[in-house]
Structure formats: structure tokens, C-alpha cells
Amino acid sequence: MENGTFFYFNMFEDMGHLRYFFFCLSFTIYCLILSFNMIIVFVIVLETALHQPMYILISCLSVNSLYGTAGLFPRLLSDLLSYSHTISRYACQVQAFVIYTYASYEYTILTLMAYDRFIAISKPLQYHSIITPRILAIMIVLACIFPLLSVGTGIILTAKLKLCGHELTKLYCSNWVIVKLSCMNTALNNIFGFVVLIITVLIPLSFILFSYIKILIICQRNSSEFRRKAYQTCLPHLVTFVNYSITTVCEVTFSRYEDGVFPQAVQILMHRVLNVSCKLASNFTLLV
């Protein structure tokens, strides 16, 4: 096998009969995520009373969740049942692109939701003249295009690297793990990755926090009834944002300690349980 042409996932080694347990667990999680998000999308599409900016953005989150899980679970389920865990470099980069754009879309959509709630609470009388269907459509398109271009550029830079290894200590393809296999200078990749991280994660995160600080300040200046309604309308977004942030932190933590620190079975179980807990908690809150 030529290095750089194919990759090998070494986390599936020596799982024995545990592979069937993890397959059933992952398959159940996948079905639950599909079911909850499809219900949300169908309810919002069919119920005309929910054709409002906040619910449209919620449906965008659900569609993005379907997109992200489609890039992860089918391959994961196949690897759990297979005894050959190789993947071509092209297929690996496609999977990394899907997973990274999914993560970026999540933050950009959450940023739009924070802006929508901020306008709704701070300028309720001007809300419908500011968040028009046309403006909302433009914001959603921009929120999709920017991660597509930034992540795509990072994947292209990685595709140009000459690699000297083929083992991936990961459950799925990660751009950073591929870059670490390179025997070339990766300074440009590291700098670009850091810039993309700032633009697609840290800036949206700062805006979301700023928006909710301003919302809290506005709520403190108004009546208890106003505060109750404001907190109620912001709850779905807050739960989704907190859960996704926890998932991101856990994912980054595991990515730094996957090389032998935790047993492979524990890594697989924690990856899946953390992901589904956050997804299902968010979806349940959005439904109610």
C-alpha cells in the first residue's frame, strides 16, 4: 500500500465481539438523530404558523445535522462490521470536508439565531422590517458559502501535501490528523487553519456571547413578564449553543489525547454518547 494514497484507521483493531455492540449503539444513535431532525423539518415545513425566521433557522440546524451525520455514520457503521479499515485519500478528504463544513455551519447558523433573537428583543417594533424574508435568505446563503470556501481551501492545501504515513488514530478523517502525516513543511496549513478557526468559530462565538449579554441587560431593565417571554424564546437557541459547545470542547480534548491515553473502546463509546446526548437534548428542546 503506497503511503498517501490510502489511509488506515487503527482505532478499530482488536475490538473482537465489541464491534457488534458499538455497531448497534451507533446505528441506534444514527436512527434517533435522523428521526428527530426529520420530524423537526417536516413540522416546520407543514405548519405555516412556523414559517418565521427563528423556526426557519431551527430547520436549517436540523438539515445541517442530517448533513453532518451522513458524512460520519455510514462510514463508521461500515468500519465497525468490516475487517478492512482502509480509505482512499480522496474519500478521506471528502469526509473531512463534510465534517468540517458541518461544524462551521453549526456556528454560523447559531450566530444568525443570536442576531435574530437580539433584534426581536431589542427592537420588537422594527423586527419585521429588519429581518425580512429576503434578508433572511441572504444571511442563510452567506452563512453557507463562507464555510464552504474557507474549509474547501484548507482541504485543497492539505491535498497538495506529500504524506509519509498512512495510519489515522481517529474514528473518522480529520484534516489536522492528515496534515500531521506530512513530511513537508506544514506552516502554511497551520497558519491558514488558525485563521479559519478564528473566523468560523471564535468570532461567531464572541458575537453570540455579546448578543446574549446585551439581551440580559435589556431584560433586566424591563418587567418580569417581558423577561419570562424573552427567556422562553431564547431557550432553544441557548440549549443548542451550550450543547454544541460542550460537544466541540470534548471532541477537541479527545483529539489531543487519542494516542493511547484512553482505551479504544472508551474513546468510541464517549465519542458517540457525548454526540447523541447533545443532539437529542437540543432536538427535544426545539420540539417543545
Which of these, 169, 141, 214, 138, lies nearest to 11 by C-alpha position?
169
Which of these, 174, 145, 175, lies nearest to 160 by C-alpha position?
175
Which neighbouring-strand residues pair with 253?
none
C-alpha cell at 218: 435589556
Buried b / exposed e over 92-129, threshold 16 CB at 10 Å, is bbebbbbbbbbbbbbbbbbbbbbbbbbbbbeeeeeeee
- Whole-Å CA distances, 216 to 58, 105, 239: 22, 26, 16
* Residues near 8 by beta carbon (within 8 Å), at least 6 away in sequence: 1, 85, 86, 87, 166, 167, 168
DSSP assignment of 93-149, as one string? HHHHHHHHHHHHHHHHHHHHHHHHHHHHHH-TTTHHHHS-HHHHHHHHHHHHHHHHH
What is the rounded CA–CA span in Å between residue 272 and residue 30?
10
**Model confidence pLDDT, tens digit, residues 214-243:** 888 888 777 777 777 777 777 767 777 776
Is the dihedral angle over the CA atoms 160, 75, 110, 176 positive or is it negative?
negative
* Residues near 71 by beta carbon (within 8 Å), at least 6 away in sequence: 95, 98, 99, 102
More confident residue, 115 or 185: 115
What number is the average pLDDT over the span 195-220? Answer: 83
**Model confidence pLDDT, tens digit, residues 99-128:** 899 988 988 998 998 899 889 888 888 988
Q: Check pLDDT > 50 for residue 1.
A: no
Which neighbouring-strand residues pair with 61?
none
Which neighbouring-strand residues pair with 87?
7
What is the pLDDT, as a whole number, of residue 194?
83
Q: Which residue has the cell 478523517?
A: 173
What is the rounded CA–CA span in Å between residue 65 and residue 243?
13
**Model confidence pLDDT, tens digit, residues 9-22:** 877 776 777 788 88
CB–CB of 226/92 below 8 Å? no
Q: In 3-state terms, the chain is what percent helix, strand and coil (to 5)?
A: 80, 5, 15
Q: For 271, which DSSP code?
A: H
Query: In the chain, where do the E strands start and end?
Result: 6-9, 86-88, 167-168
What is the pLDDT, as a whole number, of residue 253?
58
**Model confidence pLDDT, tens digit, residues 230-281:** 777 777 677 777 767 766 666 655 555 545 444 554 555 555 555 555 555 5
CB–CB of 106/246 below 8 Å? no
